[in-house]
Structure 1
Amino acid sequence: MTSRFIWDTMVDMGVDAFTPGPRELQYWNLLSDFMAEGAIPVVSSNLTYLDNGEEKPVGQRYLILERNGVKVALFALMGGSQFSTARIPADVQVVFADPFQTAQELVPELQKQADLVVLLSEMTTPDTNRLIQEVPGINAALYGNLAPWVDRASQVGETIINQTGTRGQYLGHLVMIVDPDGNVIDWGSKNVQMAENIPEDEAVAAKVAEHEEEVKAFQTGSPGAGESGEDDGHDSHDGHSHSGE
C-alpha cells in the first residue's frame, strides 16, 4: 500500500518519467498496474519481458518530451549487478540486455529525434561513469541506484552528470540552456537536502500522516485498514527515476 501511495503522490507532483529498479521488478504485478495506468510513463531501455511468448518492452524503450521548445529524449538503463539482485516472480520472464550495447545502438537514434539526450541510470556509479565516456552523444546523466549526493552537477567530457543521493532525501535541480541549433551553451544546478531546505507542504504532510495511520492500522489488524500491503521502498530512479531539465 505504501508503493501505491508514493506512486499517486508522484502523479500529483507531475513527474515526467520513472525507471524501475530491482525492487519494482520484485513487485511485478504492481509495476504492471502502473504501466497499464500510464499516469507516469515507465521507461526502461534494456529490459523486456515475455508475454505469451511475445517480447515486449518494460514500459517504453525511450520517451521524447518537449519543454520550452526543446525536445528531450529520455532513456534508462539497468546494470547487470542490479538486475541479478532482483527477486522477480517465478512466473515472470524478464529479459536483460547489455546496457553498453543498448546505449551504443540507441543514442544515435535519439540524437536524430531530440535536441537533448538524457540518461536515467539504474547502474552503479562506476559503470555509469564508464558508459558516458564510452558512448558519445549523452548530454546529461541522472544517477540513480545507490548514487552519492553531490551538491552540484559536474561535467565529464560532453556529459553533464547529476548525483542526488538515494530515497528522495535530496532534490536535484539541473537547468540546461540550449541554443536554437540544439547545442547546450550553459547550465547550472543546485541539489538540496529536502528536510533542511524545502518547506513542508501542508497538504502532502496531512496525506502522509493519514497514510501512516492506515499502515499502522493494517499492521495491527484494525478495521478500515484498506488495501493489501506490499512493503516498500521504491529503490528506483525516482527516488531515482524522474526526469528533470
Structure 2
Amino acid sequence: MADTWTLHLLHTNDLHSHFEKMPQIATCLKTSRQLWEAQQEHVLTVDIGDHMDRMDVRSEASFGKANVQVMNRCGYQYATIGNNEGITLPKEKLDEMYEQADFTVIVGNLLDKASSAPPQWAVPYAIHTLGELRVALLGMTIPFSTYQSLGWEILDPLPLIREQVAALRSSADILILLSHLGYQTDCRIAAEVEGLDVILGGHTHHTLPHGERVGNTLIAQTGRFGEHVGHIRLVWDRDGKQIADVSAELFDTASYAPDEALRVFLQKEKAAADASLFQPIAELEQDLHVNWTEETPFGSFLAASIRRWTKAEVGIANGGLLLSDLHQGRLTFAQLLESVPHPINACAVTLTGEQLASVLEQAIQPQIVHRELRGCGFRGKIEGWMAVDGLRIRYEESGQPHILAIEVNGQPLIREREYRVGTVDMFIYNRLFPDLLQGREIEFFHPEMLREVIASTITDRTLVQSAFLPRWEKVSPESSGHAIE
C-alpha cells in the first residue's frame, strides 16, 4: 500500500456577520480538528471572505474587529477578504481590522495606492509546510472599481493567478486558491489555469454539496450565512508525489452544539456594541414611516439627503432601501443601522432631461416597484417606489402608469438640458435603469454609507419637515391631459 498523508481543509465563506451561527461553527472546526489530528492527519482551516458585514451592531461598532476575534477563537489559520471587508470599510479601518489577527490574511490582487505595495496586514501567498508536504495558498478578492476611490489599487486576478501558479508549482506539492471571485470566475480559472488543485470559493453564495470538477481542479463553496462548513479531504501519495484522492462534502452547522465560551464572548460584544451605538444622535418631532409601494416622507428625506451630500440638482433613491420606521423622539445610530443596513454609497451622475424622464417613467411601472432585488449590497426585499427630491411629477396610473409632467426645482424639465442627479451606487452596479448608465461624469462618494449620510442630515429640521411635502401627484384620467412629449 502506498505511503500517504491525509490533509483536511475546513472552509467557510460569506458568513456576513451571522454571529448566531459562529458558536456552532467553532464546535465543528474544533472537534473535527481534534478527531483528525488524533489520527495523525493534518488540518487547515480557512475563510474565503465576507465574514464581516456591517449590518450587525458588533461589526459596525468595532469596524470588523469583533469578527477577527471570533476567527481567532475558532482557530482559523488563513483567510482572504471579500468585498464586505474590502470596500465597506474606510481604508484606515481596514488597515486596523486585522492588527490582532492570529491567522494569516492572503490577498494577492490588492495594493496600497500610495506605495504600490501589499497592505501590511496581508501577504500575496503563503506556503504551509506539514512535515515534508508543502501546501501553497493563494488568495484573491473580487476587483470592484470602488477600491480605487478608497485609496487602494485593485488588480485583475487572472494574470496574477497564472503568474503565481507558474512560480509556485515547482516549490509546492499542492496549490489551493482562496477565491472571493464568484463561482463563474472560479470555473473559468479552473479551465484556463493548469496547476491549481483546489479552489475554495465564495461571493456568489453557491452551495456545492460535493464540489465540482473542472479539468483537474476541484471547486468548493459552502453557500452563505454559516449554514454549512465545507470539508475537503486530500490524500497525498508520498511515493508518487501526487494527489491520490480528493473529495468534498458539507457539514450542517445546525447539527453541532454551540461553543459556550464563544457564545458568552458574543453576548458581551453585543452589549458593548449596543452601549456604543444606542447613543442618541437626534430628536425626531414626527414619525418617519416605511412603505415600499408609495411615496413617504422618509423616502423623500433619503432622496433629499443624497441630493445634499452629492451637491446635485436632483435626488432619487428607491424606497425599498428603508427597512424599518424611525419613531418620534430619541433617535440612535443603532436604529439607523436597523433601518438602513446596506453597504451602499451615494453617487452622482449627469443625465439629460430625456434620460432622467426615462428613468422616472420606468421606476413607476408595477413590475419595477415590486421587483425583488438581490446583491449589490442590497439588504431589503423589493425595489420599492422611487423617492425623489428637487422634482415635482404628475402621473396617471390607469392602464400602464405614465408620467404627464415633470418640474425640476420649479421649472419644467427640458429634455435637451443636462441635470446633475444624486442617487445610490447600487443603480450603477445592478443596471436596473439603463439610462443611468448612459450618463456622464459618474462620481462615487466614499466611504460613508447611506445611514452615515442620513446621520449627518437628520438634525436639519428644515430638511426633515420639507420631506413631508409631496413630490408625486397622481391625477385621474379625465383631468390628466396629455403625457409629456
Bin of the TM-score, shorter chain as denominator length: 0.7 to 0.9
Residue 89 (structure 1) shift: 8.3
Q: Which runs of 5+ in 2 are unaligned?
A: 1-57, 281-333, 344-485
Larger relative contact order (Cα-Cα within 8 Å, sequence gap ≥ 6) = 1
- 1:78 aligned residue (123, 128, 141): 141
Code of the residue aligned with 1:47 in structure 2: it is L
1:23 aligns with 2:81: no
CA deviations on 1:136-173 (whole Å, 9 max, x unpaired) are 00000001112311222232211111111123331111
Which of residues 47, 52, 55 in structure 1 aligns to 2:116?
A: 55
Following the alignment from structure 1 to structure 2, what is the Cα–Cα distance between the partners of residues 210 and 93? 33
CA distance in 1, matches of 2:342, 2:233: 28
Over 3 Å counting, the alpha-carbon distance change for 1:69 and 1:12 in structure 2 is: farther
The residue type equivalent to 1:77 in the other structure is M
Residue 150 of structure 1 pairs with residue 208 of structure 2: yes
TM-score (norm 2): 0.42
8 A contact 1:151–1:192 mirrored in 2: no
Distance across 1 between alignment mates of 2:123 and 2:131: 23
DSSP-derived class of the 2:78 partner: coil
Aligned-partner SS, 1:56: coil
- Determine whether 1:184 maps to 2:243: yes
Distance 1:106 1:215 in 2: 41
1:11–1:89 distance in 2 versus 1, CA, 3 Å: farther
Task: Give the alignment partner of residue 41 of structure 1, picking from 99, 104, 110.
Answer: 104
SS for the counterpart of 2:246 is strand
After alignment, is 120-129 or 25-34 more displaced? Answer: 25-34
Q: Distance in 2 between matches of 1:115 and 1:14?
A: 24
Are 2:189 and 1:128 aligned?
no
Q: Among residues 121, 126, 129, which one is paired with 1:66 in the alignment?
A: 129
- d(CA) in 2 for partners of 1:12, 1:42: 16
2:439 match: none
Aligned residue pairs, count = 220
| Runs of 4+ in structure 1 over 3 Å off | 34-38, 231-234
Quick check: 2:136–2:176 contact (8 Å CA) kept in 1? yes
Secondary structure of the corresponding residue to residue 112 of structure 1: coil
1:242 maps to what in 2?
Answer: none
Q: How much has 1:45 moved relative to structure 2?
A: 1.2
Specify the structure having the higher radius of gyration (Cα): 2
Q: Return the alpha-carbon distance in structure 1 between the equivalents of residues 217 and 110 of structure 2.
A: 24
CA deviation map 1:211-236 (0-9, x unaligned): 222222223239xxxxxx9x8999xx
Alignment partners' CA distance in 1, 2:202 and 2:65: 20
Q: 1:145 to 1:204 in 2, by over 3 A?
A: same
Q: Which residue in 1 is equivalent to 2:65? A: 4
Contact 1:43 1:62 in 2 (8 A): yes
Q: Report which stretch shifted further, 165-174 or 128-137.
A: 165-174
Q: Considering only aligned residues, what root-mean-square deviation do their CA atoms show, in Å? A: 2.6
Supply the AA of the counterpart residue of 1:63.
A
Q: Does the aligned pair in 2 maintain the 1:115–1:183 contact within 8 Å?
A: yes
1:54-73 CA distance string (max 9 Å, x none): 21113111011123542111
SS at 1:113's partner residue?
coil
CA contact (8 A) 1:23 1:233 kept: no
* Amino acid aligned to 2:206: P
